[in-house]
Amino acid sequence: MRVLSGIQPTGRFHWGNYFGAIRQYIALQQHEQAFYFIADLHALTTIRDAALLRQLRQDAALDLLALGLDPARATLFLQSDVPEVVELTWLLMTVTPMHLLEKCHAWKDKKAKGLPADAGLFTYPVLMAADILLYDSDIVPVGSDQVQHIEVARDIALRFNHLFGDVFVLPAARTLDESAKVPGVDGDKMSKSYGNTIEVFEDPKKLRKKIMSIKTDSTPVDAPKDPNSCHIFMLYQLFATPEQQAALAERYRAGGMGYGEAKQALFELADQFFAPARARRAELAADPATLHDILQAGAQAARTKGGEVLARAQRACGLSSLSAG
């Protein structure tokens, strides 16, 4: 079974990215053939600063490797290093009904809000379908808000197969376990768009400052507190053992503990949890040649597989060379 997923380099990874998705991607590489790419072509719909995009692409690659993505088990590459995906996108565009794209959430949401939307956003789901279909992907792990894009990819593949024969493998979505709630510093869902994130590789001093800024209620220090309604405790649960969780929950309910003490406990666990990855990242960042080699090897593997699928699609719709018949 081949697993495929892409991650947009639109900002540094935060705790929500890690616990909601990246941790699960890394677990899947132990059991499946995995293709993971940094979706820099998709990022062009929002990032128009070339230097920033280059930096974010590098940061994304370093972060994924430091967090445990193993190039010996999984294929990691830049989306733009596989030009076959752009050619396949055009083939798929020619069979994609307009009404299918008009129903997609990102386009509908922007139009409903009266915000400017370009052709890149409108055709975004077709490029995503090409990302998936180019590698004969069986499983695509996504959040619940992305399941629609997998359904669109299946619809496009089915239409192409109906018109030209059995060309594409039909992918299936594997919904990521989103049970780990990751609130931001303001209590809302942690998201770059809300500006409430805590980055995975935050400098320890900045990390502590952000944790200490987490919003709390006005319950007095002496009063008992409900750990299950506290954002600090929700975040603490992401890092703590069951025994540690039980001990801190007891401190909440007993009273006599201020939120500052809980925040300090969260800081210490989070800093310790990501310390090994922070050290690995520093080593990788000091060796740019190795990062380059990993991404180039990944791109070559992706192009080899992608070239096979693209050639299959070209033959099916009549674009193979004349000498090949």
Q: What is the DSSP string of 159-196?
A: HHHHHH-S-SPPPEEEE----S--B-TTSSBP-GGGT-
> Annotated catalytic residue: which of 103, 111, 181, 192?
192
Active site residue 192: yes
Q: What is the CATH number of domain 2-181+288-324?
A: 3.40.50.620
Token pair listed for 254 = 């007993």
Alpha helical stretches, state H, 71-146: 84-93, 98-102, 105-112, 119-133
Strands 172-175 and 139-142: parallel
Distance CA 141, CA 176 (A): 6
> Annotated catalytic residue: which of 103, 111, 181, 189?
189
Give the position of tokens 């809302």: 188
CATH architecture type of domain 202-282: Orthogonal Bundle (1.10)
Hey, where are the domains in the chain? 2-181+288-324, 202-282
Give the position of tokens 């992918």: 171
**Predicted model pTM:** 0.92
Distance CA 81, CA 77 (A): 7
At CA 8, angle to CA 7 and CA 9, rounded to 5? 115
Give the distance from CA 295 to its chain's centroid: 17
**Quick one: which of 133, 144, 125, 130 has its CA closest to 171?**
133
Give me the sheet containing 2-7, strands edge to edge.
Answer: 74-78, 33-38, 2-7, 139-142, 172-175
User: Where does residue 216 rank: exposed (0-12), middle (13-18), buried (19+ CB within 10 A)?
Assistant: middle
> Annotated catalytic residue: which of 103, 110, 111, 181?
110
Per-residue pLDDT of the chain (325 residues; tens, 9 = 90+): 899 999 999 999 999 999 999 999 999 998 789 999 999 999 999 899 999 999 999 999 999 999 999 999 999 999 999 999 999 999 999 999 999 998 888 787 877 777 777 899 899 999 999 999 999 999 999 888 889 999 999 999 999 999 999 999 999 999 887 666 799 999 999 998 889 999 999 999 999 999 999 999 999 999 999 999 999 999 999 999 999 999 999 999 999 999 999 999 999 999 999 999 999 999 999 999 999 999 999 999 999 999 999 999 999 999 987 665 4
Q: What is the DSSP string of 227-271?
A: GGG-HHHHHHHHH--HHHHHHHHHHHHHS---HHHHHHHHHHHHH
